[in-house]
Structure 1
Amino acid sequence: MIRLLKFCWWSFVAVICSLVLGLSGAFLYLSPNLPSVESLRSIQLQIPLRVYSSDGKLIAEFGEMRRSPIRFEEIPPQFIQALLSAEDDNFLNHYGVDPGSLMRAATQLVKTGHIQTGGSTITMQVAKNFFLTSERSFSRKTNEILLALQIERELTKDEILELYVNKIYLGNRAYGIDAAAQVYYGKSIRDVSLAQMAMIAGLPKAPSRFNPLANPVRAKERRDWILGRMYRLGKIDQASYQNALAEPLNASYHVPTPEVYAPYVAEMARAEMVGRYGSDAYTEGFRVTTSVPSDLQEMANSAVLKGLSEYDERHGYRGPLARFPGKSRSEWLAELSKQRTLGGLEPAIVTQVEKTGISVLTRSGQDQQIAWDSMKWARPFINTNAQGRAPQSPADVAQVGDLVRVQRLADGTLKFSQVPAAQSALVSLDPTSGAIRALVGGFSFEQSNYNRATQAKRQPGSSFKPFVYSAALDSGYTAASLVNDAPIVFADPNVDKVWRPKNDTNTFLGPIRMREALYKSRNLVSIRLLQAMGVGRTVDYIARFGFNKQDLPYNLSLALGTATLTPMEIAAGWSTFANGGYKISPYLIERIESRSGETLFTANPPRVPQGAEDQAGIAAPEQPISTGSLPGEAPNAIDQAFATTQPPAVAERIVDGRTTYILTSMLQDVIKRGTGRRALALGRNDLAGKTGTTNESKDAWFSGYNADFMTTVWVGFDQPESLGRREYGGTAALPIWMNYMGAALKDKPSHPPAEPQGILSLRVDPISGRAATPSTPNAYFELFKAEDSPPNGDELGNGAAPGSPLPADESAPMDLF
């Protein structure tokens, strides 16, 4: 008996020694290849890029992983108890490895021949998630054990739990418990109920198998099991346990909902961040604050939607998207599920047609009424210039089974609508700095992510004329200069081609003042001015505004706006008129912060100096001045120290401040008595602007400003075609501009430009353009630069002006056509 006991004793010692020697050998063999546990203290979890408005509202989130790291102190104690009950109830007592769990895993392996559980503790899962792969092998498990032991020696239990709850994958792209709470319940982990905590705590074991969205039955079973564990372990009382069991599984999919709809702004910010930081932009948790206030962006969205819808309704109803007569309600809902909301217009299927309106089924499964009054516009579309007979009843417009679009109004009622065929872009800038205050790149980003505000190069038409007039005012012409509005013909004998430019009305007014010619948008006056100044020198002058010379045609058609420019470029150029003669460069990103809140970049754009409107000097270099990059270009990453210590940048003056002041007064007349008269409805005296319409009305523009905002609106088709015979800048683009600027300037005081030094207001003879005598009939006051006061003699009828105009090109204008 004693021999048997001795044998058992020494056998036991031999087994223990063998285990010790085996573990020691494994440690000596594997430890040199183990990563440093100390790196866990500085680990950088992947956090998505978030873009915000200037007032802190979320615009968009970019990144594969949804994650919102949370500190241990912020984790609800009940969640920790739920997690430990589900994953590792002995976590607070072991040293990284639980022998009992490992023995159970080994026993299951021996009995079944398959790995059932890994016997991993939370510490071992941290080791695997941060350092190892998911490979099922004994070498990986050994590494996991050794790393867990090291982690326990170097980190506290609180630190280990914090790493674990922020790293684990919990389904639906949610990484970490706070992201999971947001995805499944739309709120932080700090605000969920006990039952919801238990559901989230059950996900680490198998995020797909116990997912409450994909497998609600199994998810509830797992949740209830965890609640039972918590009750048996004394973590919750019976009342809490019963109440949690009775709570329904109310999980639903919640995506990060933007607080302001600005997808084109978000995409521009994303592109710029990728240009700065590469792929790290999506994972380093950058917080980007843009220059766009949420209220102005919402005003811009509303203005574009309203303007395009009104234009579209003027041209008739193109019919339903599809027809599904005779189908069941479930089949209709299946068809609706395939459709997306575009520009706020929801898909719906007509279920009933009555005399007072129609009933529609929406994608949410609701039946709603649409009143006949909202359908009366729907004359059948024939083409952009013709529509069919006006409908007399709802039956003339819709049939049961029609797939249509509806607009949900503020009071919840629906309006009959359709997705506009035309597109629009709106850009609003702060003219003193170039900050983008609102931007819309099209009717719907979901329909097309093509950003027409920054990518669509179109002809600006007459909205380009102010640049030619600015060149003339800086060349010795005045607002009172008489230019002949008469027919002109250009012939090119080499190609037997004749160009006969004409005014929009095909009329001619003879000698006309420059001021009147601008607000009446006389094409022949613009051509004569350009001809007298010379195309080459004028192109050099206009290029100062930031335009690429390659986009400016080197011929007299430039005067009619045949350049190819984006709305952003037009808005930036026009900002010089609004700010008193300074060049600005549009920018979008105001600030970039790290995941820890450290400021990495603060915008320092060239700004108009305070009091600059009182200065009349001019610095006009031969070449355009580079003051920054347009949004979408890839600037170099800016070092934090440089970004926070650089002195304020001052914008370069490129035009005489008196020139812009006089030009602004001329552009104010466009609104008071010219093609922009509709804007008088805004009841302001500080607005200046200009319409623009290209040949066959393929592009419609309005650009206008006061000292607070410079806003440009374009309307047209992506594939250029006529907007219609009666569609112009004043009918298609101006209403959008008015809706936006009216809202943006509501309750704001009048803010016209300050009058600079060196401006004279003198009485002028309207017939001769010379200084008026006290007896001159119908004399009027005009603004002049001090050195360009009106002459005493008659002006020349060929468009020559007083002063010293820019010299003409070496080649005669006749040779250009």
Structure 2
Amino acid sequence: MASRSGKGGGSRRVDIPSTGRTETRRGSKPKSAAAKKPKKAFKKSSRRKDSRKKRGSLLGVFVKGAVLAAIWGGVSLGGVIGWYAIDLPDIDRLSAATRRPSITLLDRAGGVIATFGDLYGRPIQTDEMPQTLIEAVLATEDRRFFGHFGIDVIGLARAMWVNLKSGRIVQGGSTITQQIAKNLFLTPERTIRRKIQESMLSLWLERRFTKAQLLAIYLNRVYLGAGTYGVEAASAKYFNKSTRDLSLYESALIAGLLKAPSRFAPTRNPELSEQRTAQILANMVAAGYLTPAQMKNAKQAMPKLKFSKAPPRSTRYFVDWVLPRISGYIGGADHDLVVATTLDRTLQKNAETNLVELAEKEGLQADARQAALIALSPEGAIRAMVGGRDYGDSQFNRATQARRQPGSAFKLVVYLAALESGMRPEDTFQDAPVTVEGWSPRNYGGTYVGAVSLKEALARSINSVAVRVSERSGRGRVREAARRLGITSSLPKGPALALGTAGVSLMEMTGAYAALANEGEGVWPYGIREIHSSEGELLYRRAGSGPGRVIAPGNVARLHDMLSAVIALGTGQAAWIGRPAAGKTGTSQDFRDAWFIGYSADLVTGVWFGNDNNTPMAKVTGGGLPARLWREFMLVAHQGLAPRQLPGARLVATTPEAFSAPAGIVVEAETSSGEREIHPGAGFWDQLMSGIGIGR
């Protein structure tokens, strides 16, 4: 084949320089595949090296970032811990007092009236507690208590999972240690701050105390309903026994109170308490502490709970009055107290029942919307106190706090001053219009009867004579006699003092009359006999007190006679109780107050009717509703008691003529030979039957 490069060709070939690609010429053999492999392997090796370099670089960056993050995270965590640790509570509070001392009030017979404050039992250790109690608590509150470090991670995760599935909070993950931290150091608020502080305190508690100590702290301080703190107090409250003696069922019941003590307390809801106890027993079976057979036996052995009935509601008037007085006898107390009072629960119930019945049946019809009653022993011990119709409606104590005009009930003081100035019961005064310093008092009914004896004037409650007697005795002497009898309220200086226009309390006036029942010895009404610590240590005991003699023996006898006539034939006939008794009615201006205060040898009782807003009643006088309530109360109070002569009715005089003996009073006089000679006076009841007349 001829060559194209010959002269005779029309074109020629142009060679293009190679650019790195291998050109195969015609007629030459191609390079084998084996010759190409080394270059490809070299390229792959280079790529792997580059990849390793990149990965190493990324790992280094990650490690550096992680280290930095850890450092800054630690700094941040430390800052958070420091921030929340700044206001952590003082851990020394664990052993400090964290409650009000409890006060238990006992009645005259030793029965419990009421308990106030926090009831803590004596702290006991876990080795003193029944194993069933510890197992019941752990099975319900913290099954991994002995295995965690204060925070139960497993329990917390489980609670979170259950709550997420339920869409609401149905479980909590708090351990017993966390509950100690929350209950003793923190508030119940649900905040992140409180939760972080709770966890911090839990870790500290776990490091500071053993598990047994933590469990003891928990069970000795936790609230268990009905005002009780700690298992020992709860055991005494609910079962009247020590924790050491709790049965399996009783242990489960107490453990069940931990979740909601007020709701599950057997004193408040026995049915819910029983259901909750059954759940605790089931928890113990699930935790492996009990067999199903043991659970069944425990339910069958369920004790019958018997709780004392609540005291009468009106007892709260007495309780409110007596509680503030405790510190006056023993100062500030930081331990539990048991206070023995003078209250007689039977008389209290009698007083409340009769007052409410009469006040609601007839009092309201007569526009008398309130009433009060107080009863004292002759020595001044308060046996009953009702400060109003209903404590729930009004806590104002009308027996001690109200200052009302006693009206003619104050005449006891006026006539005592008269006797002390030398007057005698048989002395006569004119019942006629009288004007003193421009003031002219009127008798009830507006009538006058002329000459009357002091005895008759008091029995008929004649105002004109009382004013004349007060003016003759001297108002200063009347005020002094009132103070001596224990009346501390402000007294007016004008002539109206004689008619009881000063505002006084029912307790003051009743205490004044008690001096007569106490044979002339002054009386300070009191409500506390003894105060003990909860361990039995005697802190206070009343050992006789009072101002001493305030009425001379002869005047005691005279006033007995004069005030007995009030009930026998005077304004207080509705108060007749069929045994020796004396008293006085009282009615203030426009029938705003109605009183009756009287006494026997065994009891002194004062009664008041009226309205809190001082509006008039519908002509209610002291001889009406008050005298009737006094009678009903005194009749029940004296059931089973033999009639007795009024104290001080037997007088001792140097001569039979020392004074003219009041009717019915026996005078003992010594003769020149030293023998006692009896001189009975005229028959008291015979003289009364001759008729005195009846006023208000």
TM score, norm. by length of structure 2: 0.69
The one-character-per-residue Cα deviations of 1:113-160 (angstroms, maximum 9, x if unpaired) are 9999997654564455435667555565344233233322xxx93x65
Given candidates 512, 516, 525, the residue that maps to 1:586 is 525
Name 1:568's counterpart in structure 2.
507
What root-mean-square deviation, in Å, do the aligned CA atoms of Structure 1 and Structure 2 show? 4.8
Assess, with a 3 A threshold, how the Cα gap between structure 1 residues 172 and 426 changes in structure 2: closer, same or farther: closer
| Superposition deviation, residue 567 in structure 1 | 0.4
The one-character-per-residue Cα deviations of 1:772-798 (angstroms, maximum 9, x if unpaired) are 9xxxxxx98888999xxxxxxxxxxxx
CA distance in 2, matches of 1:561, 1:424: 19
CA distance in 1, matches of 2:667, 2:404: 34
Name 2:677's counterpart in structure 1.
none
Name 2:294's counterpart in structure 1.
240
CA distance in 2, matches of 1:583, 1:482: 29
3-state SS in 2 of match to 1:51: strand
Name 1:457's counterpart in structure 2.
403
Given candidates 241, 252, 257, the residue that maps to 2:310 is 257
Name 2:651's counterpart in structure 1.
756
CA distance in 2, matches of 1:196, 1:742: 46
Given candidates 406, 422, 427, the residue that maps to 1:476 is 422
3-state SS in 2 of match to 1:517: helix
Q: Equivalent residues in 2 for 1:120-519 (5 A)? A: 122=176, 125-126=179-180, 129-131=183-185, 136=194, 140-152=198-210, 157=212, 160-169=214-223, 175-177=229-231, 197-198=251-252, 200-202=254-256, 204=258, 226-242=280-296, 257-258=310-311, 261-273=314-326, 284-312=335-363, 315=365, 384=366, 422-432=369-379, 434-490=380-436, 492=438, 499-519=439-459
| Superposition deviation, residue 529 in structure 1 | 0.9
Between structure 1 and structure 2, the one with the greater Rg is 2
3-state SS in 1 of match to 2:374: strand
CA distance in 1, matches of 2:171, 2:102: 33
**Conservation of the 8 A alpha-carbon contact between 1:59 and 1:263:** no
Name 1:670's counterpart in structure 2.
566
Q: Equivalent residues in 2 for 1:509-588 (5 A)? A: 509-548=449-488, 550=490, 552-588=491-527
Name 1:658's counterpart in structure 2.
554
The one-character-per-residue Cα deviations of 1:249-301 (angstroms, maximum 9, x if unpaired) are x999x9983377501001112333477899x77x8533332221212211221
CA distance in 2, matches of 1:209, 1:423: 37
Assess, with a 3 A threshold, how the Cα gap between structure 1 residues 559 and 760 changes in structure 2: closer, same or farther: farther
**Conservation of the 8 A alpha-carbon contact between 2:377 and 2:603:** yes
Q: What one-letter code is carried by the residue in structure 2 that aligns with 1:553?
A: P
**Conservation of the 8 A alpha-carbon contact between 2:178 and 2:198:** no
| Superposition deviation, residue 734 in structure 1 | 0.8
The one-character-per-residue Cα deviations of 1:309-355 (angstroms, maximum 9, x if unpaired) are 34237x3xxxxxxxxxxxxxxxxxxxxxxxxxxxxxxxxxxxxxxxx
Name 2:135's counterpart in structure 1.
81
| Superposition deviation, residue 570 in structure 1 | 0.4
CA distance in 2, matches of 1:532, 1:149: 86
| Superposition deviation, residue 467 in structure 1 | 0.8
Residue identity (%): 34
**Conservation of the 8 A alpha-carbon contact between 2:566 and 2:572:** yes
Assess, with a 3 A threshold, how the Cα gap between structure 1 residues 42 and 502 changes in structure 2: closer, same or farther: closer
| Superposition deviation, residue 560 in structure 1 | 1.7
CA distance in 2, matches of 1:109, 1:228: 20
**Conservation of the 8 A alpha-carbon contact between 2:341 and 2:527:** yes
3-state SS in 1 of match to 2:520: coil
**Conservation of the 8 A alpha-carbon contact between 2:278 and 2:299:** yes
CA distance in 1, matches of 2:259, 2:554: 73
**Conservation of the 8 A alpha-carbon contact between 2:561 and 2:664:** no
CA distance in 2, matches of 1:304, 1:42: 47
**Conservation of the 8 A alpha-carbon contact between 1:761 and 1:782:** no
Q: What one-letter code is carried by the residue in structure 1 that aligns with 2:455?
A: R
1:691 aligns with 2:573: no
**Conservation of the 8 A alpha-carbon contact between 1:102 and 1:118:** no
Q: Which moved more, 1:210-219 or 1:537-546?
A: 210-219
Name 2:542's counterpart in structure 1.
603
Name 2:154's counterpart in structure 1.
104
Given candidates 708, 711, 720, the residue that maps to 2:602 is 708
| Superposition deviation, residue 693 in structure 1 | 1.7
1:58 aligns with 2:112: yes
- Show structure 2 runs of 5+ residues with no match: 1-73, 670-696
- Show structure 1 runs of 5+ residues with no match: 1-21, 316-383, 385-419, 493-498, 608-650, 765-770, 773-778, 787-817
CA distance in 1, matches of 2:404, 2:521: 25
CA distance in 1, matches of 2:268, 2:664: 77
Assess, with a 3 A threshold, how the Cα gap between structure 1 residues 785 and 696 changes in structure 2: closer, same or farther: farther
**Conservation of the 8 A alpha-carbon contact between 2:411 and 2:499:** yes
**Conservation of the 8 A alpha-carbon contact between 2:651 and 2:667:** no
**Conservation of the 8 A alpha-carbon contact between 2:120 and 2:229:** yes
Assess, with a 3 A threshold, how the Cα gap between structure 1 residues 222 and 540 changes in structure 2: closer, same or farther: closer
Structure with the bigger percentage of helix: 2
**Conservation of the 8 A alpha-carbon contact between 1:459 and 1:565:** yes
**Conservation of the 8 A alpha-carbon contact between 1:61 and 1:256:** no
Assess, with a 3 A threshold, how the Cα gap between structure 1 residues 101 and 161 changes in structure 2: closer, same or farther: closer
**Conservation of the 8 A alpha-carbon contact between 1:531 and 1:556:** yes
Given candidates 629, 635, 657, the residue that maps to 1:742 is 635
| Superposition deviation, residue 202 in structure 1 | 4.5
CA distance in 2, matches of 1:437, 1:70: 37
3-state SS in 2 of match to 1:690: strand
Q: Which moved more, 1:465-474 or 1:129-138?
A: 129-138
1:679 aligns with 2:575: yes
CA distance in 2, matches of 1:565, 1:286: 33
CA distance in 2, matches of 1:261, 1:213: 21
| Superposition deviation, residue 696 in structure 1 | 2.8
Q: What one-letter code is carried by the residue in structure 2 that aligns with 1:141?
A: S
3-state SS in 1 of match to 2:399: coil
**Conservation of the 8 A alpha-carbon contact between 2:510 and 2:597:** yes
Q: Which moved more, 1:511-520 or 1:589-598?
A: 589-598
CA distance in 1, matches of 2:539, 2:421: 46
The one-character-per-residue Cα deviations of 1:625-684 (angstroms, maximum 9, x if unpaired) are xxxxxxxxxxxxxxxxxxxxxxxxxx322332211221111111222222222333x221
3-state SS in 2 of match to 1:559: helix
Q: What one-letter code is carried by the residue in structure 1 that aligns with 2:565?
A: D
| Superposition deviation, residue 564 in structure 1 | 1.4
Q: Equivalent residues in 2 for 1:66-77 (5 A)? A: 71=124, 77=131
Q: What one-letter code is carried by the residue in structure 2 that aligns with 1:307?
A: L
Assess, with a 3 A threshold, how the Cα gap between structure 1 residues 187 and 693 changes in structure 2: closer, same or farther: same
Assess, with a 3 A threshold, how the Cα gap between structure 1 residues 549 and 728 changes in structure 2: closer, same or farther: closer
CA distance in 2, matches of 1:34, 1:491: 74
Name 2:43's counterpart in structure 1.
none
Q: Equivalent residues in 2 for 1:2-21 (5 A)? A: none
CA distance in 1, matches of 2:663, 2:87: 91
**Conservation of the 8 A alpha-carbon contact between 1:658 and 1:759:** no
Q: Which has the bigger relative contact order, CA under 8 A and spacing at least 6?
A: 1
**Conservation of the 8 A alpha-carbon contact between 1:170 and 1:177:** yes
Name 1:10's counterpart in structure 2.
none
